[in-house]
A and B are shown apart, each in its own frame.
Chain A
């Protein structure tokens, strides 16, 4: 399957600071990437859909000014958690859409980034 990488794999930051997480598609171009958040023992929660060259589409309840998403190229999307607080501590996972042909695509996940805000 397609390879999606994330960096860093884990990060610890102090409350009030900002953290940037990178998501890269390594062997394909991804016009659409997704950002999910997952709290312990809970399911994936879609935060936003990132389209290359345009503004991200945020899900209801997700603060777009706090979670800044930039999809500047076909292989890179970034999520910046601004003014992080302990309640932002979570497992952040990006995903990329892989086009398989007309009307067919799959979705592959990056390895995730574990964020801990102290």
Chain B
């Protein structure tokens, strides 16, 4: 069983719509959750992190965490073509442990 799962996509949304990216994880004891964006041919860049249940907003991005359901999501409001990239979910089980990355979801925002 994979530790961090994501739908590989591609997820296609029209420009201006809300893109919803989902991630599930298997270790119930996981404590920290991160979203990275990776453009083709580039390395990942950190977008957001979330540690507590609920929503965390940063500009057009909102991370949502539900530890009971072992589910974390990233919402992108007012999607732009420049948001087209692969989004990686990363989970850290406990302090001192490595991040575990999901396979990524490819998002395509259509103009």
> Which residues of A does B touch, CB under 8 Å?
1, 34, 42-44, 46, 49, 91, 93, 103, 105-112, 114
Complex CA gap A93/B34 in Å reads 18
Structural contact, A106 and B102, CB atoms closer than 8 A: no
B98 within 8 A of A: yes
> Which residues of B does A touch, CB under 8 Å?
34, 36, 41-46, 49, 88, 90, 95, 98-99, 101-104
- Tell me the interface secondary structure of chain A in the complex: strand
Inter-chain contacts of B95 with A (CB < 8 A)? 103, 105
Structural contact, B44 and A109, CB atoms closer than 8 A: yes
Inter-chain contacts of B45 with A (CB < 8 A)? 1, 109
Complex CA gap A42/B103 in Å reads 7
Structural contact, B46 and A93, CB atoms closer than 8 A: no
Inter-chain contacts of B41 with A (CB < 8 A)? 91, 114
Distance (whole angstroms) from the CB of B89 to the closest CB of chain A: 10
Complex CA gap A1/B48 in Å reads 11
Complex CA gap A114/B41 in Å reads 9
Structural contact, B43 and A49, CB atoms closer than 8 A: no
Identify the closest chain B residue to A42 (Cβ).
B103
- Known contacts A103-B95, A106-B34, A107-B34: does B101 contact A44 (CB below 8 Å)? yes
